[in-house]
Structure 1
Amino acid sequence: MLDTLAHTLRRHPDRPAVLGTTRTGAVRTKVTCGELAHLADRYTAALHTRGVGFGATVGVAVRPGPRALAVMLAVHRLGARAAVLDPGAGPDVLRARLALAPPDVVLADATAQAVAGWARPLARRARLALPDLAELGPVLTVGPRLPGSAPALDADVRTVALPPWADGDGDAVIVFTSGTTSRPRAVVHTRSSLAAGMATVAELVQPEAGRPVLGGTFFVLLPSLASGAPVALPARSTRVLSRQLRRLSPQATYLTPPQLRRLLAEGARFNGRVWTGSAPASAQLLTRVKQAGADEAWGVYALTELFPAAAVEQAEKTAFTGAGDLVGAPLPGVAAKTDASGELLLSGPSARDRYLGEAPDPWVATGDQARVDGGRIVLEGRRKDMILRHAENIYPGLYEPALHIPEVELALLVGVPAGDGDERLVAVVQPGAGVDPAALRSALEGPLGRMGAARPDAVLLADIPLSGRSLKPDRAAAARLAARHLAERSRG
């Protein structure tokens, strides 16, 4: 896919590649295909002259956009591997992670360097923190420099003969996921697994050349640009993003569930096909997206270890009446099974090769309790989220979909310690905009009554806390919220 993209950029140098949007929603070209190809060549030459080649490790702390994409193209051409540095992980965790894969060089934009340096106090308020980047290896700046920034990556590039494209398989990218300072975890994708994942995305979305796509993730950028479709990066402001949708009329849109909920509250209109993932997407949310104009609304089930694994369109998801969360049939090439405990295992060409420091394993243990029902994957809850009440195991994912009635924005089932080794089960329900609390409680009686032994001990109407870059529902914070509610209720 990266090879295809590189050739596409050169065949159509004047075609827009990455689009930007002003605060008024006006669309402009941030970079053309030719400019992106030239930038990737400069970065390739600069890294090559510094000795980066096949098997080297390049730490990357660059915000998503044209420069980050050019860096990935350069690293790929040289046969090196990119280790993605996440400012949200904290310096101690990041140091421990990179001890497994010390970078030969660190590429960082001025913002990342500021987070690690003079802007550290401000960054802490946003829960961003990096160690001094110089601790990790030689640092070079990608993009504009600020006072105190490291030297520019491509400052000394003159006319340099570019090296031939690296051939063969090998590590392509390292993405750090869970883990602690004592046992960090990092997903390693090879050039072949990355290519297989991108090919699956391209086959699923089928972007048409010349028509814009809205999305900011790497696996949206690559297949779209390789197909000749310009990509617009989503605006951070919900109001501007709504204008962006209206002006662009994108053929395909990829946004997270929290972004979709905020847009719907803003009264935004959609068109074409809308894709969402990174966090659970209920049938009700997909239905609202289609009611707001989308031709199709898809939920995508993907993991860092294997992307994408399955997808389901709103009509199929809404028609599903069984227990649990239907996420669709495994995509071509993906094999799915459950082990003796009911944990979902996935395999296929796009599966990660291994975790850094561990032996390769063709099967990915997802951490999801699930069943394969008629060839389709139905999630029953995260294994770590299991709640033990009255000596009975309760998996929230089995029952939460039933709580997503039209009046509900989001719903979680969480456990609160009862002080005797048992747990109390609480439904934390976020009402939709303008919904009357009394009417909502009445509407919930039906779904709650059908939950049988899993009926919650209490229902709390409140905004559900979100966390992480994808703004996933934060179960731990929701459980703390529920615990405070129960304590206040017992005192009252």
Structure 2
Amino acid sequence: MLDTLARTLRRHPERPAVLGTTRTGAVRTKATHGELADLADRYTTALHRRGVGRGGTVGVAVRPGPRALAVMLAVHRLGARAAVLDPGAGPDVLRARLALAGPDVVLADATAQAVAGWARPLARRARLALPDLAGLGPVATVGPRLPGCAPALDADVRAVPLPPPVDEDGDAVIVFTSGTTAQPRAVVHTRASLAAGMATVAELVRPEAGRPVLGGTFFVLVPSLACGAPVALPARSAPVLGRQLRRLAPQATYLTPPQLRRLLADGGRFHGRVWTGSAPASAELLTRVKRAGAEEAWGVYALTELFPAAAVEQADKAAFTGAGDLVGSPLPGVVAKTDSSGELLLSGSAVRDRYLGEDPDPWVVTGDRARIEGGRIVLEGRSKDMVLRHAENIYPGLYEPSLHLPGVELALLVAVPDGDGDERLVAVVQPSPGADRNALRTALDRPLGRMGAARPDAVLLADIPLSGRSLKPDRAATARLAARRLDGRHLDGRGLDGRGLDGRHLDGRSRG
């Protein structure tokens, strides 16, 4: 489909490709088909000059939009693979991931490099915590440069013949998921599995040429643009997003559940078909979306290893009265089954090839408990440790080791329900006997500050419950303990420190 997109862009260079919006909701063109194609060609030439070719790896820390898409088109043409780097993962995690991926070059926009010098306060406010990228290998800037940024990727690029496109299967993208800082884990998709996933999206959403689609993910941009539909990047604030939807009247909209909830709370209205995923979407949420004007409201079940896997429309989800969470029938090409423990396994043409450094495996172990009922997948809970906050997957195992400072006996990151499928992240720290709790709180500030977007909403100093013959930390009991303490919103003298990201105690008192 990336090849189809490249041809479509050249066939109609004057058509708008990526749309933005002003604060009034007015639609503006961020890039036309021709501008996007030209940018992809410049990046292709620049990367080729740097020696990137078939089998190479390009680290990508660029915000979604025309430049990120042009980078992906360039990497695809060269037969290389893109290692997607999350600037919000924190410096220690990012260093480990870069070491595993071993990119030939890291492409980063100015925001991803904002930890250097003058921009460090801006980076902290944006919840970014990065290492000095310049110390991790060759770095090039994509987009406008700011003071302290690496040289521009396409500086001094002149019109030269492009290398012929690679026309064979191979690794296409690396996306990091769980694992630990010492042993990161990354999903590897091939060109074939990526193409199969995007084809499934196109068949599911059915974008029509010339009519806008609203959404900012790669799996929205590529299929829509390949079908001739311009894509509008969603505004960040709910009021502006609401105005954007009114002006745009998109044929299809993809927003995460947190975005939907904020928009609905602001009185937003929808148009056409609405899709949501990346976090659980309840029947109630989908029903509210339809009441707010959507013709259809769909929940999409997907994983990094397989996107998309299943989908369900509001009417079917609302009519389901059984136990569990109905996520729909497996989409064409997807095979679903459960193992002896009830864990859901998925396979199909769009499934990832392997985990980086491991052998290929046709089956994805989802970490979700489920049952297959009438050919439909019904989720019954998670069997692997993961926290879903604001539609982001947070893996506690990546960050817990950094909390084991002198004076800490045990430390866990647990989830506390926060309504409609969302969760709050709480660090529960058990001090060693005799430890100075005030000093410990101060010492914890450093590792907490290096967690980036995974920084906990609150920190609780308490004894962690143990269970089993081996007396292992009981995560479920610890989560219940955190929920009780945070629900009480009090300081009990035993060490509840409810400081959230705004630096306030849970009982509303400012920090002393």
TM-score when normalising by structure 1: 0.81
1:465 aligns with 2:424: yes
Alignment of 1:176-255 (within 5 A): 176-255=176-255
How far apart in 2 are the matches of 1:77 and 1:92? 32
1:293-351, Cα deviation, whole Å (9 max, x unpaired)? 10000000000010000000000001111000000000000000000111000001111
Matched to 2:383, the amino acid is: R
Question: Is the Cα contact below 8 Å between 1:141 and 1:153 reproduced in 2?
Answer: yes
> 2:2 & 2:173 partners in 1: Cα distance?
13
Q: Does 1:482 align with 2:484?
A: yes
Q: Secondary structure at the residue paired with 2:114?
A: helix
Over 3 Å counting, the alpha-carbon distance change for 1:479 and 1:379 in structure 2 is: farther
The Cα of 1:151 is off from its aligned counterpart by 1.1
Contact 2:17–2:32 (Cα < 8 Å) also in 1: yes
Shift of 1:486: 6.0
Kept after mapping to 2: 8 A contact 1:256/1:470:
no
Distance 1:427 1:165, change over 3 A: closer
- Listed as ranges, the matches of 1:293-304 within 5 Å are 293-304=293-304
Q: 1:217 offset after TM fit, Å?
A: 0.5
Structure 1 residue ranges, 4+ long, deviating more than 4 angstroms after superposition:
426-431, 466-479, 486-491
SS of residue matched to 1:300: strand
Compared CA separation, residues 466 and 64, structure 1 to 2 (3 A): farther
Partner residue, 2:441: none
Report the more deviating stretch, 346-355 or 108-117: 108-117
Answering whether residue 295 of structure 2 is matched by residue 336 of structure 1, we say no
Work out whether residues 79 and 170 of structure 1, in 8 Å CA contact, stay in contact via their aligned partners in 2: yes
CA shift digits 1:42-80 (9 cap, x unpaired)? 110111111110011101111110000000000000000
The equivalences for 1:334-483 within 5 A come to: 334-384=334-384, 430=419, 465=424, 480-483=482-485
1:484 Cα offset (Å): 3.6
Contact 2:416-2:423 at 8 Å conserved across structures: no
For 2:174 and 2:109, the matched residues in 1 are separated by: 19
Following superposition of structure 1 onto structure 2, how do residues 36-115 of structure 1 map, counting pairs within 5 Å? 36-115=36-115
Aligned to 2:434: none
Q: CA deviation at 1:91?
A: 1.1
Q: Distance in 2 between matches of 1:249 and 1:473?
A: 36
Indicate if the aligned counterparts of 1:116 and 1:130 stay in contact, CA closer than 8 A: no
**Distance (whole Å) between structure 2 residues aligned to residue 429 and residue 191 of structure 1:** 38
| Count of matched residue positions in the alignment of Structure 1 and Structure 2 | 423
Q: Write out per-residue CA displacement over residues 405-459 of structure 1, whole angstroms, 9 at most, x where no aligned residue.
A: xxxxxxxxxxxxxxxxxxxxx995749xxxxxxxxxxxxxxxxxxxxxxxxxxxx
8 Å CA contact 2:268, 2:292 repeated in 1: yes
In structure 2, the CA distance between the partners of 1:53 and 1:112, relative to structure 1 (3 Å rule), is same
Native 8 Å contact 1:279 1:470 kept in 2:
no
Q: Which residue of 2 aligns with 1:136?
A: 136
Q: What amino acid maps onto 2:286 in structure 1?
A: L
- Match of 1:3, SS state, is helix
Partner of 1:40, secondary structure, is helix
Amino acid at match of 2:264: L
Residues 466 and 237 from structure 1, CA distance in 2 versus in 1: closer, same or farther, beyond 3 angstroms? farther
Distance across 2 between alignment mates of 1:464 and 1:277:
15
Change (3 A) 1:342 1:221: same
List gaps (5 residues or longer) in structure 2: 389-414, 427-451, 459-475, 494-512
Say which SS state the counterpart of residue 384 (structure 1) adopts: coil
CA distance in 2, matches of 1:478, 1:302: 28
C-alpha contact (below 8 Å) 1:465/1:478 kept by paired residues: no
**Range that drifts further, 65-74 or 481-490:** 481-490
Corresponding residue number in structure 1 for 2:437: none
Structure 1 letter corresponding to 2:424: P
Q: Distance in 2 between matches of 1:428 and 1:167?
A: 47
> 2:416 touches 2:424 (CA, 8 Å); kept in 1?
no
- Once the two structures are TM-superposed, the CA of residue 93 in structure 1 deviates from its matched residue by 1.1
Kept in 1: contact 2:207–2:251 (CA 8 A): yes
Structure 2 CA distance for partners of 1:23 and 1:472, relative to 1, 3 Å: farther
Shift of 1:483: 3.0
Q: Would the aligned equivalents of 2:187 and 2:356 in 1 still touch at CA under 8 Å?
A: yes
SS across alignment from 1:67: helix
Counterpart mapping for 1:139-150 below 5 A = 139-150=139-150
Q: Give a deviation string over 1:340-395, Cα, whole Å, max 9, x none.
A: 11100000111111111111111000000000111100000011369xxxxxxxxx
